[in-house]
Structure 1
Amino acid sequence: MLLKIEFESETPIYQQIKNQIIKGIATGELAIGEDLPSVRQMAADIGINFHTVNKVYTQLKQEGWVVVHRKSGVMINPDLKAELTEDYLQTLEENLETLAAEAYLRGVSKEDFHGMIDKKYSSFIGRGRK
């Protein structure tokens, strides 16, 4: 998987990496059980501090997306069961509220906003995890 980092973006680099790994799992671009580069290797490939990659891997591990083995490194969790929890639903609703508020203030119509969400969600169906 090729990561595309926008160094001038307002989105922090660690968040860009994390988002792309999760999208990669959803699309099937990253397979369940697939090895990810070591912290140092990914940092060197991207040209960033290894602490940034370590932060990404730590968060992904805490959320259950990856597992870390001392000998074999980091891999997409072979037992991935992304559970729908009350905490996740609350976070999702908060994030959507912010996105909806910004879209409203910038003049995006309700229909266009719904269409964008539907298009993005539908793009994952049948491509990766079911």
Structure 2
Amino acid sequence: MLLKINFESDIPIYVQIKNQVIHGIALGTLKPGEILPSVRQLASDIGINMHTVNKSYSLLKSEGYIVVDRRKGATVLPIRTTSDPIFKEEMTEELTTLIASSICKGLNEEEFIELSKNIFKDFSSK
């Protein structure tokens, strides 16, 4: 698993790890059943604290992207075929804030939708 961590970013490292794993799953570069590096190994590879990786894995587990087994480690779960109501509710909250921010920054509805379509295409075409 190849991660690109930006140590200069305002985005916390644990969030960067979490987001890149989610992107990998959506793109198909991380397959269902694939075992992720151990917390210790990934922390060593990146040169960060193990607690940072552990926090990422804990979030990925709680959000249903991976399962963690003490013997096997963290394993990628299959992509769901339907979304659950709780996820839709959380996504609505996140999108509401994102759209409000977009409006405040001068992005109109058509531009927002076009950006969204292009990003979705990037994930769907892989």
TM-score normalized by structure 2? 0.90
Looking at structure 2, the residues matched to 28 and 64 of structure 1 have their Cα atoms a distance apart, in angstroms, of 16
Cα separation, partners in 2 of 1:20 and 1:82, compared to 1, 3 Å: farther
Structure 1 position 29, deviation (Å):
0.7
Structure 1 position 83, deviation (Å):
4.7
Looking at structure 1, the residues matched to 57 and 81 of structure 2 have their Cα atoms a distance apart, in angstroms, of 16
Looking at structure 1, the residues matched to 82 and 48 of structure 2 have their Cα atoms a distance apart, in angstroms, of 32
Looking at structure 2, the residues matched to 91 and 6 of structure 1 have their Cα atoms a distance apart, in angstroms, of 27
Looking at structure 1, the residues matched to 105 and 64 of structure 2 have their Cα atoms a distance apart, in angstroms, of 35
- The answer to whether residue 100 in structure 2 is matched with residue 104 in structure 1 is no
Question: Which portions of structure 1, spanning 4 or more consecutive aligned residues, are displaced by more than 6 angstroms?
Answer: none
| Higher relative contact order, structure no. (Cα contacts within 8 Å, ≥ 6 residues apart) | 1
Structure 1 position 20, deviation (Å):
0.6
1:64·1:82 contact (CA, 8 Å) conserved in 2? no
- The answer to whether residue 32 in structure 2 is matched with residue 10 in structure 1 is no
The 5 A counterparts of 1:108-127 are 108-127=107-126
Alignment partner, residue 29 of structure 1: 29
The root-mean-square deviation of aligned C-alpha atoms, in Å, is 1.6
Alignment partner, residue 63 of structure 2: 63
Paired letter, 1:115: E
Cα separation, partners in 2 of 1:43 and 1:75, compared to 1, 3 Å: same
Q: Deviations over 1:59-94 (max 9, x none)?
A: 1112221122222211112x5536512221111111
Percent pairwise identity: 47
Alignment partner, residue 72 of structure 1: 72
1:64·1:80 contact (CA, 8 Å) conserved in 2? no
Structure 1 position 34, deviation (Å):
0.8
Alignment partner, residue 90 of structure 1: 89
Structure 1, gaps ≥5 residues long: none
Aligned residues: 126
Answer 1 or 2: which has greater helix percent: 2
Looking at structure 1, the residues matched to 64 and 90 of structure 2 have their Cα atoms a distance apart, in angstroms, of 16
Structure 1 position 126, deviation (Å):
4.5
1:5·1:17 contact (CA, 8 Å) conserved in 2? yes
Structure 2, gaps ≥5 residues long: none
